[in-house]
Amino acid sequence: MLLVIICLVFVGCLLIVCPLLAGRLLIRWVEQKIADEKAELSTQLRAFVESPSEDTPSPLALMADQFALLFAGRLWQHMEARLRGSNSQTTASLNKEEEAVLAASNPGMALLGAFLPKKIKKMLEKNPMMVGALSNMMGAAPPGGGDHGSAGNVARKNRD
């Protein structure tokens, strides 16, 4: 019976000591893994920051240089767009003045211009003869003081 009690005490001690020992071993293993990972991270970080040789820049310097170039390019694009935006506002105000003059001289053309798509408006602005032809089709005098070609036709009709 004494042997059974000693065996039970021994097994009880093992049941208590084994988990404590396993916990302690697990803690040591985790601490060792953390130390290894820190050392590896430190090595990789140092390799990223430091230059491999005197002639070649570090990867961090290369990345900073690329970032600076990208940032400068985007800044230039933004400034250029801003400056062009102010030019487009000036152009838009000039176009509105031209439309006001056209409306005063020929209300039919101004009304038609309000319904034309922008593409056709731009085409008419580039080619003023088209505006004159369109104005003749509507039966009004074209902007700019009249069509000299039709004046000759009127004179020819009066002669006949």
pTM above 0.85, yes or no: no
Q: Are 106 and 112 in contact (CB under 8 A)?
A: no
pLDDT of residue 135: 61
Higher pLDDT, 9 or 135: 9
Q: Contact, 139 vs 145, CB < 8 A?
A: no
Query: Which percentage of the chain shows pLDDT scores above 70?
Result: 59
- Name the burial class of residue 141, with classes exposed (0-12), middle (13-18) and buried (19+) by CB atoms within 10 angstroms of its CB: middle
How confident is the model at residue 142, as a pLDDT? 47
